[in-house]
Structure formats: structure tokens, C-alpha cells
Structure 1
Amino acid sequence: MGRLVVNEFRQAEQTGAAQSLAWVVMPDHFHWLLELHNGDLPRLMQGTKSRSARTVNKIRGIQAPLWQKGYFDRALRREEDLKTMARYIVANPLRAGMVEHIGDYPLWDAIWL
């Protein structure tokens, strides 16, 4: 199911809406470091969450909330902040105790690899 969410991140890139810099998909939320190109962040987030929830729910054969409501955003301004934030994002499964090594978690990526 997580790969369906990843497909939404890729869709944003293919349409020119954003470039993904780093991301991790967790069971009920995701972290996505991106460079916004076209459109606006609220529309991008609403579309990504809505489409991925519909697809996942269709496959699971249920109608249930998939994501936490809303989202939190933070603008980064310096290049060195990007890599620091990317490390924080991809380490989320470690902090959550889901894995002992980030390589054991399949749903993350960063352009600096």
C-alpha cells in the first residue's frame, strides 16, 4: 500500500508540481521534503492525500480515513538545512521503533543517495 503513496509523490514530479527531495511513508502519515514548482502547497497536499487514500481504500475494500487530518509545513531557506531535514525525515521509522536500521524500512528515499 505504501508504494501507492510513493506513486503519488512521483505523479507530482511528472506533472511538474514539485520535485521530491526526501520522503518517508509511515502507517498513518508521511513526511515529504519537496521543492514546489507549480501550483500551491495546500492543493498539492490535498490532492496527494485524497488520491492515495481513495486508491488504498479501494484496494482494501473499505471506506476509512487513511491519513492524519491536515498537515504541517515548514519552509527551508539554506542548502545545509535541506540535508539536515532529509536525515530527520528518513530516520522517522528509527525514532518510531519500527526498525533498527533505516535500510530495513522500504518506504523512504532521498535524492542525496
Structure 2
Amino acid sequence: MDMHVEDRFRGHRALRRGRVSLPGQVYHVTVVTRDRRPWFADFHVACEAARAFHRPVALADATLLAWVLMPDHVHWLLELGPRVPLEMVVSRMKATSGVQANRMLARAGPLWCPAFHDRALRQEDDLRAVARYIIANPLRAGLAEHIGGYPFWDCVWLPSFSL
């Protein structure tokens, strides 16, 4: 028995109440897969999802500054553009990557949890330090010994970036 859409997202909307989406603001967003299923442990599925992150339809007018795709979750460092609010950008990113991953998995249905965690960065926060923290996730999880050994991440500061 499937819940009515309004009932399904009531908790998510309650979490977002009072949150503001500001143009030009940078957010660290974390999204987990449904039931923490490690869909992205499959190399080809992860490749499709990673490609989807950079599609204009997913990003709208936002800029993806850094990201890392883990087997059961993703971290995005996003700078919002002038028109599309954070909730819509995240929804588009999840939908676009979910469709691609589901195609590879030959499955249908939601891949990501409906909710997400976000943290607005303050003006005094060092964006590169936050990006390093995000990108080092596979190292902390023991998935790689050095970041070059893990294929599912990217950063706009790549040419001048080191961990």
C-alpha cells in the first residue's frame, strides 16, 4: 500500500520549514539512497550517476563546486544561481541521477531518500577546505588509500587542489 504523496513528504517539509534558499549561497548537501542501499558500489551505475550530476537539466542555474559519490550516498558542494531554489536543484539532481542509475540497474522507483541534509556555508568558511573534507570521504571510509585511487569525485579547483 503506497502512501499518499502529501503524507510521504510531510516529514521532509517539516524539516525544511523555516529554511531559506538564498541566491549565490553555497551549500554542502548530503543525500542518502533509500534504505542506504549501496547502488553505487557498481562501477557502471556510479559512472552514470556521476555523468548526470553535470547535466544542465540537473543543475539548472546552480554551480557544482565539488562532489563525491559514495556507495550509498552523495555529497555536493553547490552554489545557487539567481533563480532556482536549493530544494528544486537537489530534486533535479536526484531525479536526473536516479533515472540514469535505474536504467543501468534495470529497476524502477525512487533511488534516493526524499529528504536531504544541507548546511549553508558562512562567509568566513573556507570553500576549498570544505571541498577537501567532502572529497576525502572515500579515504575516511577506507574505500581508497589516496584520492587518485577513487574515481567518483570532482572539484572545480582540481588543477590547484591537493589533499
Query: What range describes the TM-score normalised by the shorter chain of this pair?
Result: 0.7 to 0.9
RMSD of equivalent CA atoms: 2.2
- The amino acid of 2:65's aligned partner reads L
1:69-94 deviations in Å (ceiling 9; x for gaps): 41111111336521111011000001
Aligned: 1:51 with 2:96: yes
Q: Secondary structure at the match of 2:54?
A: helix
- The amino acid of 1:22's aligned partner reads A
1:3 to partner: Cα distance: 2.5
Structure 1: distance between partners of 2:109 and 2:137: 24
- The amino acid of 1:101's aligned partner reads H
Residue 52 (structure 2) aligned to one of 1, 4, 8 = 8
Structure 1: distance between partners of 2:107 and 2:141: 26
Aligned: 1:27 with 2:76: no
Question: Across the two proteins, how many residue pairs are aligned to each other?
Answer: 113
Structure 2: distance between partners of 1:16 and 1:97: 33
TM-score normalised by structure 2 residue count: 0.61
Which entry has the higher C-alpha Rg, 1 or 2?
2
- The amino acid of 1:112's aligned partner reads W
Residue 87 (structure 1) aligned to one of 121, 132, 138 = 132
Aligned: 1:112 with 2:157: yes
Contact 1:28 1:67 in 2 (8 A): no
Contact 1:22 1:90 in 2 (8 A): yes
Specify whether residues 84 and 10 from structure 1 end up closer, same or farther in structure 2 by C-alpha distance, changes over 3 A only. Answer: same
Structure 2: distance between partners of 1:82 and 1:45: 19
1:15 to partner: Cα distance: 6.0
Structure 1 gaps, min length 5: none
Structure 1: distance between partners of 2:59 and 2:129: 27
- The amino acid of 2:94's aligned partner reads K
Q: Secondary structure at the match of 1:109?
A: strand
Q: Secondary structure at the match of 1:78?
A: coil
TM-score normalised by structure 1 residue count: 0.85
Identity within the alignment, %? 46
Q: Secondary structure at the match of 1:31?
A: strand
Contact 1:28 1:66 in 2 (8 A): no
